[in-house]
């Protein structure tokens, strides 16, 4: 199996940035997925405040060996971006609009966006159908060069497979899109019904955690063959209080390490 990356999402301001760097030095194949849902002032687990993201990105730009970082754009924020005609970086860290309820805390929005190598867009394409013609130009004009991740969802979340169709349309328009198999749409529900890769690089998510990762990597190997893939998880590295647990992340990386090529 050609596993070359493990993406662990959900680190937030409860984590010491230095600890993320330490694990990245030990396991250089790890990618830290940073989630944003809105930039409101109330901190939420999984969704760090923008000043924490700003510090993370600044330290990563200054590091001799930067970490692999991805930005996961979640919830209604994507629909808002296209519905209101906002540019992603304006919404994320630009000047706040009157009465929009969002704050700005990032000093250099271009530099911050450029720090993320990949951007995962968590959406259901049916919700964005009327804005689909605007998606490729908006993504292509983002500062920096990014690979965009689109979820390939189970039929109960995407009955007609519009997410994958949208992804191929974006690829045809010149956007670097890869797909993430995620049968539970980010809810961390375990599956053993792994599907063949989509495209030439594909991710796998679905209830992965330290307790079942080895078993599921063996199952994924059967369907993935030699196609380059990454493994993705979020809920599996959190505790019963929904807090990110660094020891669980480390255990995941220890299990995955022998599989890395």
Buried/exposed code over 35-55 (b: 16+ C-beta within 10 A; e: otherwise): bbebbeeeeeebbbbbebbbe
CATH architecture of 2-259: Alpha-Beta Barrel (3.20)
> Is the model's pLDDT at 78 over the cut of 70?
yes
Residue 123's Cβ-count burial label (10 Å; 0-12, 13-18, 19+) is: buried
Q: Sorting pLDDT into bands at 50, 70 and 90, what band is 135?
A: confident
The confidence score (pLDDT) of residue 143 equals: 80
pLDDT band at 106 (very low <50, low <70, confident <90, very high): low
Closest CA to 61 of 23, 9, 111: 111
Cβ density class 180-193: b for 16+ within 10 Å, e for less: bbbbbbbebeebee
pLDDT tens digits, one per residue of 247-259: 999 999 999 999 9
Instruction: Give, as one character, the DSSP assignment of residue 38.
Output: -
Q: What is the pLDDT of residues 198-236, one digit of tens each?
A: 999 999 999 999 999 999 999 999 999 999 999 999 999
**Nearest-angstrom CA–CA distance, 65 and 61:** 9
Span 50-77, pLDDT tens digits: 788 889 999 999 999 999 999 998 766 7
> How many CA atoms, within 13 angstroms, populate the side-chain half-sphere of residue 79?
10
Identify the pLDDT of residue 219. 95
DSSP letter, residue 126: G
Residue 90: the pLDDT is 57
Q: What local confidence, expressed as pLDDT, does residue 94 receive?
A: 46
What does the mean pLDDT of the chain come to?
85
**The pLDDT of residue 193 is above 80:** yes
pTM for the complete prediction? 0.90
Other beta carbons within 10 Å of 209:
19
């Amino acid at each position: 199996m050609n596993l070359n990356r493990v993406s662990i999402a959900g680190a937030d301001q409860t984590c010491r940035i230095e600890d993320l760097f330490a694990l990245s030095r030990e396991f250089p194949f790890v990618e830290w997925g940073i989630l944003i849902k809105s930039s409101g002032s109330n901190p939420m687990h999984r969704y760090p405040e923008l000043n924490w993201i700003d510090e993370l990105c600044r330290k990563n730009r200054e590091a001799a060996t930067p970490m692999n970082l991805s930005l996961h754009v979640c919830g209604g924020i994507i629909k808002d971006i296209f519905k209101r005609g906002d540019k992603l970086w304006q919404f994320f860290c630009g000047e706040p609009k009157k009465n929009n309820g969002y704050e700005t805390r990032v000093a250099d929005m271009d530099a911050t966006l450029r720090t993320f190598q990949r951007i995962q867009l968590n959406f259901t394409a049916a919700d964005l159908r009327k804005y689909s013609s605007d998606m490729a130009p908006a993504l292509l004009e983002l500062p920096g060069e990014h690979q965009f991740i689109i979820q390939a969802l189970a039929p109960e979340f995407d009955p007609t497979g519009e997410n994958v169709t949208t992804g191929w349309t974006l690829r045809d328009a010149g956007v670097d899109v890869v797909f993430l198999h995620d049968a539970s749409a980010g809810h961390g529900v375990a599956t053993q019904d792994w599907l063949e890769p989509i495209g030439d690089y594909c991710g796998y998510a679905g209830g992965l955690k330290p307790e079942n990762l080895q078993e599921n990597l063996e199952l994924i190997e059967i369907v993935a063959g030699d196609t380059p893939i990454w493994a993705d998880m979020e809920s599996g590295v959190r505790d019963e209080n929904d807090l990110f647990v660094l020891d669980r992340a480390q255990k995941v990386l220890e299990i995955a390490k022998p599989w890395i090529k």
